Amino acid sequence: MLYERTLKQLRVALAVLALIILVGTFGYMMLEQWGFLDSLYMTIITITTTGYGEVYPLSPIGRMFTIALIIGGVGTIAYAGGRGAQLIIENQLLRKRRMSKRVEKLKNHFIVCGFGRMGKQVCEELSGAGAAFVVIDKDPDRIEEATELGYTFVAGDATQDDILERAGVHRARGLVATLSSEAENVFTTLSARELNPEIFIVARAVEEGTEAKLYRAGANRVVKPYEIGGARIAQVLLRPGVVDFIDLVARQRGIDLKLEEIQVHSGAPIIGKTLAQSPIRKDLNIIIVAIFRNDGTFIYNPFSNTEIREGDRLIAIGSQKALEELNRLCLVPEYE
């Protein structure tokens, strides 16, 4: 690879430079009878063309040696500097190329626009859940931080169509708009909705008038952090046990219990069966808290004779393994 070849050239140049410094130092010691420190100092200021002047007057042969040292040293430093700069550029290009390939492989993923405080929290939750996602941000420091965390990213302005396309918006499952300004969130939502009419968009709103604009732009959900934060604080004060249980289930803190939303797809083996007839309760020990129908019907705490239909979204509580099995039953036929 070009990067590896440049790295090899840089290593050779640095080795030659070290050899020149060594030869120059011992050359002055032998030719001019100087001490080691004076010889090293003279060698360094010579090959770097610093121009501080000679340590001691040079003999004719010492001057010829200095000329050769300048030619060899300056040339080697220039070559090493060029290879070093080339290596940095190639490293950036290589990283972008690798990142582009990672993004191209993603499908049914999430796009997080903005890697600020809220964006980082969203990424942390998605990463913890094992979900595939791409970060979009134009701040180099934030991109570097995302890189260190191992996140897939696209550097650029999320309001631009080409950047969203590079992030795979056409193949994405959902998009989160948590950019620094309300206008950017509106533009990003509008662009994403136009590029992918089926994508699920969640946008952040701080100002009162922005919520309606985001919905008009195409957002499926609008999150207002201050309202959510205030409501949560009040719930912690009024119902601490309820909040602890929700946190326990939603974030899987210390126990094998998870709250999940699972959609029943076409051809799933449990379609047409009631909850009692299905293995959901008796075999998997899963509790169905609610069912969302395609027609907008919401069924809370469904009875055992409730029929499971195509397109239903099951809100279920159970162990990780059991929920994975239920998800399998909702996706593919039981027998192929």
Domains and CATH numbers, the chain: 2-101 (1.10.287.70), 107-229 (3.40.50.720), 247-331 (3.30.70.1450)
pLDDT band at 253 (very low <50, low <70, confident <90, very high): low
- pLDDT value at 164 more than 80: yes
| Average pLDDT over the chain, rounded to an integer | 86
Question: Minimal CA–CA distance to 106: which of 129, 134, 126, 127?
Answer: 134
Task: Give per-residue pLDDT as tens, 44-70.
Answer: 888 887 777 777 788 888 888 888 888
Give 154's strand partners.
136
Task: Give per-residue pLDDT as tens, 190-219.
Answer: 999 999 999 999 999 988 788 899 999 999
* Spatial distance between the Cα atoms of 313 and 319, rounded to a whole number of angstroms: 18
- pLDDT value at 332 more than 60: yes
> Quick check: helix, strand or coil at residue 262?
strand
Structure tokens given for 115? 């890697």
Question: Minimal CA–CA distance to 55: which of 76, 24, 22, 20?
Answer: 24
Structure tokens given for 336? 């192929």
Q: What was the pLDDT predicted at 197?
A: 94
Question: Minimal CA–CA distance to 90: which of 196, 189, 3?
Answer: 3
Q: H-helix or E-strand containing 233?
A: helix 225-238
* CA distances for 30 relative to 22, 39, 61, 180, 258, angstroms: 12, 10, 11, 66, 77
> Quick check: helix, strand or coil at residue 3?
helix
* CA distances for 228 relative to 232, 234, 261, angstroms: 6, 10, 21
Question: Minimal CA–CA distance to 189: which of 214, 170, 209?
Answer: 214
- pLDDT value at 271 more than 70: yes
Q: H-helix or E-strand containing 288?
A: strand 287-292
* CA distances for 40 relative to 22, 47, 50, 56, angstroms: 8, 11, 14, 13
Q: What was the pLDDT predicted at 148?
A: 86
Structure tokens given for 186? 């509106």
Using CA of residue 28, residue 34, residue 35, residue 40, what is the dihedral sign? Answer: negative
What is the radius of gyration, based on Cα positions, of the chain? Answer: 32
* Spatial distance between the Cα atoms of 109 and 151, rounded to a whole number of angstroms: 13
Question: Minimal CA–CA distance to 29: which of 17, 40, 16?
Answer: 40
Task: Give per-residue pLDDT as tens, 170-189.
Answer: 999 999 999 988 999 999 99
> How deeply is 179 buried, as exposed, middle or buried, from its count of CB atoms within 10 A (0-12, 13-18, 19+)?
buried
Q: What was the pLDDT predicted at 286?
A: 92
- More confidently predicted of 254 and 154: 154
* CA distances for 74 relative to 236, 243, 258, angstroms: 69, 69, 65
Span 232-241, average pLDDT = 85
Q: What was the pLDDT predicted at 335?
A: 43
Structure tokens given for 140? 């180099």
* Count of residues making up the chain: 336
Give 261's strand partners.
315
Structure tokens given for 105? 């492989």
Q: H-helix or E-strand containing 222?
A: strand 221-223
Q: What was the pLDDT predicted at 336?
A: 41
- More confidently predicted of 231 and 134: 134
Q: What was the pLDDT predicted at 31?
A: 86
